[in-house]
Structure 1
Amino acid sequence: MPKISNKGQQMPESPIRKLVPYAEAAAAKGKIIYQLNIGQPDIKTPEVALNAVKNHDIEVLSYSHSAGFESYREKLASYYKNTSLPIEKQDIIITTGGSEALLFTMGSITDQGDEVIIPEPFYANYNGFATASGVTIKPIQSKIEDGFALPPISEFEKLITEKTKAILICNPGNPTGYLYTKEEIQQLADLALKHDLFIVSDEVYREFAYDGVKHHSIMSIPELANHAIMVDSVSKRYSMCGARIGCLVSKNTEVITTAMKFAQARLSPPTFAQIASEAALDTPQSYFDEVIEQYTFRRDLLVKGLEKIDGVKVANPKGAFYCIAELPIDNADDFAKWLLEDFEDDNETIMVAPAAGFYSTPNTGLNQVRIAYVLKKENLERALVILEKALKQYNNKA
């Protein structure tokens, strides 16, 4: 039998999706599952985006430009300018989700064996993107006790070698919900300039900042014009995860020129999804005001509820719609499977994402889970009740 590649064998499973077979088996038995494991908002997609597809009179579903519709890139540049970011249409490549933007970025700025420094815990798929690109992740650990704030810059400097090409951050963070301060972004910028590194900032949750705190983009620092690469997406902003439209943004013309080669190799991003995404830019501010109010309410409900459960520790997120919770257990992976296979409360259970998969350092985050607060009030309240009962039963069993 032909042999599978070493790269394929090393490719990590998604901590978010690997439990799906257990959930499917539980659902087949009639069990109701409250899904706290995945960032799929229940917020309605803006009607303006859906109507743009419904009412379109396309007769031939053709390729678009490899960089995406020019009209979309122009409109997207205007959106960024309205947030005080000096971005032009030529600085943007439309991609098939933020995931493709990250793959294009790694392909454009790294070679086999190069290193990228990433504060952990981080979006789990960074591990997969690094493996696919032959890149080594050098993790630097942020701590729940500090709310997952940026680790000291001195710790970053200790990791920099001749193979270091970039620092990658997610702002606001997935899975932590941490929102970097202006001072932290400037510290990273100064470090990148000092060591001539790229700063890659995954800003797909940029609209989700709470408590009056402002989001600070890496693209807002003029001195970083040749060092900054931003990744963005419509998935969360407009509750359009299935559209699979994102973008890569950089003022560095060499980065854009190189990334375009990858864009041309995959031909073009999907046409209908671009139509919806371009139309979504006409979404009124009232939509976002309501969404922020809803997520702030859900965050407060969840965090306060978790803090009341004996032995649970949680950091209060300032952005995105996730939090990391530390549970009074030894192995969150085992606990998550047990929730689906063996536990039920009135034929109901919950699904969580074990947080170890959001770390690169082995045997880290084993007692942590990521929880997405994307469910409505009554479902979140019920999920908290189930979690408290499950922890008591699980620990009694142990």
Structure 2
Amino acid sequence: MPKLSLKGNEMPASPIRKLVPFAEKAKSLGKKVYHLNIGQPDIASPKEALDAVKNMDISVLEYSHSAGFESYRKGLSAYYKKNGLDINSDEMIITTGGSEALIFGFMTCFNPGDEIIIPEPFYANYNGFATTAGLKIVPVTAKIEDGFALPPIQDFEKLITAKTKGIVICNPANPTGYLYTKEELAQLKEIVLKHDLFLFADEVYREFCYDNATPHSVMNLTGIDDNVVLIDSVSKRYSMCGARIGALISRNKELMANAMKFAQARLSPPTLAQIASEGALDTPQSYFDEVVDEYVERRNITVDGLNAIEGVICPKPKGAFYCIAQLPVKDAENFCQWLLEDFDYNGETVMMAPASGFYATKGLGSNQVRIAYVLEKKELVKAVKCLEEALKIYPGRI
């Protein structure tokens, strides 16, 4: 048999989905499994998006422009301006999900062997995107005792070498739910200017900010237009994960011209999904207000419930719909597997994502889990109760 590629062997498996076989086995045995492991919202997609597809009047599903439909890009530009971001339609490329936007951005801005600094814990699939582009992720650790705030800027400085070419953040953050402040972004601006780095910001959770918190975008940082790359997506904003429509955005004209070559090579983003995404731009504000109110309640049920369990530490997030919880266990991955294989409470159990998969530094996060509070409130109450009962009898508790 011919040898497979090194890149294929190096591509990391998803820590979010690795326990799926155990969950499937648990279900086959009749257990109810509460899925807190994956950020798939159960909120209905906007009627405006679905109606746009139902009512479309086309006879051929043609290619779109490689940058995406002009009408959608103009509509998206209007959406950004309404939200205080001065982004023009020629400063964006519509992509197949935010994932493709990141891959195009990495391939455009960096060379194989370059290093990018990312605060950890971070969205685990950044590992896969970096591997695709041949990059090395250099982690800078955010601490649970600080609520996962931006690490001190001197910690970034210590990691910068001749190979360092960029910094990547997620704001609000997956997996911690942390929302970066205006002051923290200003600190990043200074280090980006000092070392002439690219600053990538994944802002797909912009609409999910709580307790009257305001999201601050890197696109509003002045004096670094050529350094900033924004990643966006409809997946979470409109509960349209299956649409696979994202955007790569930058005011750096040379960057966008080169990124367009990658966009042309893959031809175009999907037509039907762009129609749905353009329709979603007409979603009324009431939709977002209701969603945010719902997630605040879900967050409070989950996080307050977790913190009421003896030995559990869980900072309350200001955004997104994730939290990281530190558990009184030796090994969170073993605990998560045990929950599915050996435990149930009244025929029910919980599936979570071991947080070690969201850290690049070996050994970190070994007693932590990432939880996505995307279930109905009554189910979250039951899920937290399952965890409480499980921790009372788990053999590996410390």
Q: Which amino acid is 2:335 matched to? A: F
Once the two structures are overlaid, the 10-residue window that deviates more, 349-358 or 20-29, is 20-29
> What CA distance in whole angstroms lies between the structure 1 residues aligned with 2:294 and 2:397?
37
Counterpart Cα distance in 2 of 1:198 and 1:69: 27
Instruction: Say whether 1:141 aligns with 2:138.
Output: no
Aligned twin of 2:354: 354
- The answer to whether the 8 Å contact 2:329/2:396 transfers is no
Structure 2 distance, partners of 1:177, 1:258, is 33
Q: Which residue of 1 aligns with 2:390?
A: 390
User: Aligned partners of 2:134, 2:339: CA distance in 1, in Å?
Assistant: 35
Structure 1 counterpart SS, 2:44: coil
Equivalent position SS for 1:119: strand
Whether 2:339 is the aligned partner of 1:334: answer: no
Residue aligning to 2:251: 251
Task: Give CA-to-partner distance per residue, 1:338-371, whole Å, 9 cap, x none.
Answer: 1111111121111000000101111110110000
Q: 1:312 maps to what in 2?
A: 312
**Do structure 1's residue 238 and structure 2's residue 238 form an aligned pair?**
yes
Separation in 2, partners of 1:64, 1:199: 29
User: 1:226-267: CA deviations, max 9, x gaps?
Assistant: 110000000000000000100000000111111111111111
Give 1:42 deviation, angstroms: 0.9
| 2:69 alignment partner in structure 1 | 69
Structure-to-structure mapping, 1:341-380, within 5 angstroms:
341-380=341-380
Per the alignment, in what secondary structure is the counterpart of residue 16 of structure 1?
coil
CA distance in 2, matches of 1:272, 1:184: 39
Q: In 2, distance between residues paired with 1:302 and 1:336?
A: 17
Q: Cα distance, 1:29 vs. partner?
A: 2.1
Return the alpha-carbon distance in structure 1 between the equivalents of residues 395 and 172 of structure 2: 34
Q: How far apart in 1 are the matches of 2:93 and 2:221?
A: 20
Gaps of 5+ in 2: none
1:178 aligns with 2:178: yes
1:396 deviates by 6.9
5 Å-filtered alignment, 1:1-398, equals 1-395=1-395
- Cα distance in structure 2, aligned partners of 1:4 and 1:267: 27
* Alpha-carbon distance in 1 for matches of 2:266, 2:22: 34
Contact 2:329 2:397 in 1 (8 A): no
1:325 match: secondary structure: strand
CA deviation profile, 1:46-94 (whole Å, cap 9, x unmatched): 0010011111122111111111000000000111111111100000100
AA at the equivalent of 1:353: A
In the aligned structure 1, how far is the partner of 2:397 from the partner of 2:269? 50
Whether contact under 8 Å (2:96, 2:269) holds in the other structure is yes
C-alpha displacement of 1:395? 3.0
- In 2: Cα distance, 1:315 partner to 1:11 partner: 31
What secondary structure sits across from 1:242 in the alignment?
A: helix
Q: Distance in 1 between matches of 2:326 and 2:132?
A: 30
Cα 1:397–1:163 change in 2 (3 A) is closer
User: Which residue identity does 1:169 align to in structure 2?
Assistant: I
CA deviation map 1:185-232 (0-9, x unaligned): 111011111111110000000111111110000001131211100000
SS of the equivalent of 1:118 reads: strand
Tell me, in whole angstroms, the C-alpha distance in 1 between the residues paired with 2:336 and 2:55: 43
Aligned-pair CA distance for 1:131: 1.1
In 2: Cα distance, 1:254 partner to 1:396 partner: 54
**Aligned-partner residue type, residue 170 of structure 1:** C
TM value normalised by structure 1: 0.98
1:247 match: secondary structure: strand
Offset of 1:160 from its aligned partner? Answer: 1.0
Flag as ranges the 4+ runs of structure 1 deviating above 4 A: none
Provide the rounded CA distance (Å) in 2 between the counterparts of 1:126 and 1:384.
29
Structure 2 CA distance, aligned partners of 1:189 and 1:325? 30
Code of the residue aligned with 1:226 in structure 2: it is D
Deviations 1:326-348 (A, max 9, x none): 00111111111111111111211
The letter of the residue matching 2:120 is E
Structure 1 pair 163/306, CA: closer, same or farther in 2 (3 Å)?
Answer: same
Question: Any idea what SS the aligned residue of 2:223 has?
Answer: helix
| Aligned-partner Cα distance in 1 for 2:258–2:328 | 48
Q: Distance in 1 between matches of 2:396 and 2:77?
A: 56
Tell me, in whole angstroms, the C-alpha distance in 1 between the residues paired with 2:348 and 2:253: 53
Return the alpha-carbon distance in structure 1 between the equivalents of residues 208 and 363 of structure 2. 31
**Partner Cα separation in structure 1 for residue 38 and residue 132 of structure 2:** 23
Alignment gaps of 5+ in structure 1? none
Q: Number of residues paired by the alignment?
A: 398
CA deviation string 1:89-108 (max 9, x = no partner): 00010000000000001100
CA contact (8 A) 2:391 2:397 kept: no
Query: Aligned equivalents of 2:289 and 2:36: distance in 1?
Result: 23
SS of equivalent residue, structure 1 residue 380: helix
Normalising by structure 2, report the TM-score: 0.98
- The whole-number CA distance in structure 2 between the counterparts of 1:187 and 1:266 is 36
CA distance in 2, matches of 1:146, 1:396: 27
Aligned 8 A contact 2:335 2:396 in 1? no
Amino acid at match of 1:322: Y
How big is the shift at 1:397?
8.3
In 1: Cα distance, 2:90 partner to 2:68 partner:
11
